[in-house]
Amino acid sequence: MSRLPTRNDMENRAYALMVGLFVICLGSAALMAFWWVSGGAQDTTKYLIISPKSVTGLNPQAAVRYRGVRVGKVIDVDLQDSREVAILIRVDSDVPVTRGTRARIGSQGLTGQGFVQLDDDGRDMEPPKFAPGSKLPMIAMQSGTLMDTASEGAQEIIGRLRKSSERIEQVLSPENVDRIDQTLKSLAASSASLEKALNQTAGLAADMRRFSSPENAERLASTLEQVQTMSKQLNPAVEDFRKALAKVDAAGTRIDKLGGDVQASLTGDTLPRFNQLVLELQTNTQQLSRVLDDIERSPQLLLLGKRQQTPGPGETVSVKP
């Protein structure tokens, strides 16, 4: 005979039923919340984006914006091959995604969290093409995304900074520093010389002011008048001097002519006679020199005269008449 359930058994069953109902309600609420958060509350469409460049900062659950308005989220980010990145997004079905829609990767705030920005210029209103080997429509990646532009700009700035630092290093090399030091010293010396020259110029200007005083101007005018008077007085003397020079020139001409006549006369008649006289005088001088030599050797010749020499064998004595 079976035992009838007691009151305690009924209470335990009631508690178990309540706990079961609570768990079922909580699970249903969690499922509803997950479905709502995942976009199940409205109709959505999945799209595939192929990026040939880096997508740094882009993670699943990142926002998808259409012209700045959030319209979906990123579902998955994965490498398609070694050169491309596949980005799977979910977008509200009422968003007008066309073949002309372009995607780019943006960066949000200071956190650097990435998001997908969709833009459409309205040039091609055809539906988007499907990705090769996939049933998902594909959105083309915009060339030159914001992050790529920022990265390229940063690299360019870094390159310029590097070149600038190299140039600064070259300018501040020890040799250039010495040259700059020498240049500064030269400038200092030039400044001192210029200051000295300016001081001298100031003194010269003062002297010029004193020289151009009314008294000196009157003296200069008086001196000029005296010079003019003296020049007028010297004009007759200069004229007389010119006449005297003309006379001296004429006399010189006559003397030159007379010298020419004398030279012609000497050459024609007097000069041969003078030459003969010179020859005779030279002969007599030689004879006198021999006589003086004989007297110097034999002084008795002045008293006895020159002795005749004894003729030699076979010689005859000649007697002068």
pLDDT per 10-residue tile (average), the chain, 321 residues: 58 75 86 68 83 86 90 90 86 90 84 87 86 85 65 76 83 80 83 78 72 73 76 64 66 64 57 66 70 65 55 53 43
- Cα-only R_g, the chain: 69
Counting Cβ atoms within 10 Å, is residue 49 exposed (0-12), middle (13-18) or buried (19+)? buried
Q: pLDDT value at position 320?
A: 43
Give CA–CA dist 72/66, Å, rounded: 9
Element (H, E) at 39: none
Give Cβ neighbours of residue 147 (< 8 Å, ≥ 6 apart): 54, 56, 57, 104, 105, 106, 107, 114
Q: pLDDT value at position 182?
A: 85
Counting Cβ atoms within 10 Å, is residue 116 exposed (0-12), middle (13-18) or buried (19+)? buried
Give CA–CA dist 309/311, Å, rounded: 6
